[in-house]
């Protein structure tokens, strides 16, 4: 439990590295069957879960001088092995690793995780991989644990991707399949994360063809990954909390360690903040956000960046008109149903919120202080509520802050570093 008090903010923040990029790097490093170097990785609960799983599979992974050294050159799995892999809370690890496992020797692999992860939908991916030669099953509810007893052959499948991680999983695994593959994608959310995966394939010189709308994919099989030396850039999802802090308080913050050329989807938060009246400027390695005296409301489609829903929703408390976040139904299938959970928290604090199937409308108004809200053991909800506390007279208590370590273990330390005494 943590109690936070209102404050103005100013200064600079170095943003930690991208979780999504770090996990992609770890997986490609492992399946390169060599020794790779990952510089400036994110070390958090989710990336530690990925590291633990790869070590269970036989990798030697050493962290020193802010660098991960991944050696997978002497994996000793055999066709007789039966292994259970615990991915903790890391949905990224679970989804992206799943198909890649089908390229290893084993008798049976069980892929599981914590209570939250075991509620996340996986059946569309199970069905797709079964089309592609893997023999796999999940629970009757369509969630992990996933049991795998067959190998990835390749072929043809169609899959609706309400999370982009389904398609990223296929993109990463199919180059290693026994034969060529064709994938049709009639529905795709979170497209920028697919672009992130494609950038890794391009660096690895993987041969594929994909339509401009990312809904038809052809991948050559019998390819391989090569050991590499890469540096991970800052995480725009983590940065969005500090962008929002500046917008919410009308203050100015400069964030460092980010690359505006990165394909991360949450970079789009800056466009929304600009439309809401913020001043956004950037140089080679710094982005500065200055909040206005009054934020503008409006309607924003955030399908490409569903992780930003908790962060952006808190701004509705101080806009000049309702804030409508829409086309983000996939926010309901993250660690929690983030639309429902954020709606409940904001209502508890006195705001009017209209919950929609694919979004929410937040009406501006005074926010009650001195209350306790739930973090729902969801890192993004916890951090969003912590940012909202900056404007709550009487303070705000969050019932459990520990889950923030999933992606941003230094969040509260960095927030404290830019807090100033409440302006008189």
Which listed residue (86, 307, 378, 399) is catalytic?
307
Q: How far apart are CA 240 and CA 235, in angstroms?
A: 9
Could you tell me which of 216, 378, 233 has the C-alpha nearest to residue 307?
378
Strand partners, 41: none
User: Sign of torsion, CA 281 4 407 213?
Assistant: negative
Q: How far apart are CA 1 and CA 187, in angstroms?
A: 40
Could you tell me which of 180, 219, 178, 187 has the C-alpha nearest to residue 201?
219
> How many CA atoms within 13 Å lie on the side-chain side of 335?
23
What distances in angstroms separate CA 142 from CA 89, 110, 145, 355, one per listed residue?
17, 15, 9, 25
Q: How far apart are CA 83 and CA 57, in angstroms?
A: 8
Could you tell me which of 19, 21, 45, 4 has the C-alpha nearest to residue 403?
45
Q: Are strands 396-398 and 2-4 parallel, antiparallel or unpaired?
A: antiparallel
Could you tell me which of 22, 26, 35, 55 has the C-alpha nearest to residue 228?
35
The tokens of 234 are what? Answer: 């800052």
Q: Residue 192: enclosing H or E segment and its boundaries?
A: helix 191-203
Q: How far apart are CA 171 and CA 249, in angstroms?
A: 41
CB atoms within 10 A of CB 84: 12
Task: Reply yes or no: is the peptide bond before residue 145 cis, omega within 30 of 0.
Answer: yes
Q: Is residue 307 among the annotated active site residues?
A: yes
Rounded to 10 deg, the angle between the 411-418 and 236-249 helix axes is: 30
Residue 231: which region, alpha, beta or left (left: phi > 0; alpha: psi -120 to 50)? beta
Q: Which residues are annotated as catalytic?
A: 307
């Amino acid at each position: 439990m943590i109690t936070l008090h209102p404050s103005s903010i100013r200064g600079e923040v170095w943003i930690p590295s991208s979780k999504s990029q770090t996990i992609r790097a770890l997986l490609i490093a492992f399946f390169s069957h060599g020794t790779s170097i990952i510089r400036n990785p994110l070390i958090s609960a989710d990336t530690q879960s990925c590291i633990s799983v790869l070590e269970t599979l036989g990798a030697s992974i050493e962290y020193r001088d802010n660098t991960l050294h991944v050696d997978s050159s002497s994996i000793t799995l055999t066709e007789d092995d039966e292994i259970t892999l615990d991915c903790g809370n890391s949905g990224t690890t679970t989804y992206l690793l799943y198909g890649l496992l089908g390229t290893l020797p084993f008798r049976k692999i069980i892929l599981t995780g914590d209570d939250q992860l075991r509620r996340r939908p996986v059946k569309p991916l199970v069905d797709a991989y079964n089309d592609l030669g893997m023999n796999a099953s999940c629970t009757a509810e369509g969630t992990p644990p996933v049991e795998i007893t067959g190998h990835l052959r390749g072929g043809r499948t169609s899959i609706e991707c309400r999370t982009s991680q389904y398609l990223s999983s296929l993109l990463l695994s199919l180059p290693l399949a026994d034969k060529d593959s064709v994938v049709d994608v009639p529905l795709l959310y979170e497209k920028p994360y697919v672009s992130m995966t494609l950038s890794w394939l391009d660096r690895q010189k993987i041969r594929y063809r994909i339509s401009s709308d990312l809904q038809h994919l052809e991948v050559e099989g019998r390819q391989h990954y090569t050991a590499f030396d890469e540096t991970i850039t800052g995480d725009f999802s983590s940065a969005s909390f500090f962008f929002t802090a500046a917008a919410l308080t009308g203050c100015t913050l400069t964030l460092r360690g980010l690359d505006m050329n990165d394909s991360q989807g949450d970079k789009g938060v800056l466009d929304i903040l600009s439309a809401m009246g913020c001043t956004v400027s950037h140089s080679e390695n710094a982005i500065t956000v200055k909040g206005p005296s009054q934020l503008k409301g409006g309607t924003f489609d955030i399908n490409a960046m569903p992780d930003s829903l908790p962060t952006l929703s808190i701004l509705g408390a101080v806009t000049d008109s309702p804030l409508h976040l829409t086309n983000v139904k996939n926010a309901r299938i993250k660690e929690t149903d983030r639309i429902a959970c954020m709606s409940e928290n904001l209502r508890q604090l006195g705001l009017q919120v209209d919950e929609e199937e694919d979004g929410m409308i937040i009406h501006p108004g005074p926010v009650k202080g001195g209350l306790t809200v739930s973090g729902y053991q969801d890192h993004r909800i916890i951090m969003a509520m912590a940012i909202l506390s900056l404007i709550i007279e009487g303070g705000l208590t969050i019932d459990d802050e520990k889950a923030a370590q999933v992606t941003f273990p230094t969040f509260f330390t960095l927030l404290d570093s830019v807090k100033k005494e409440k302006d008189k």
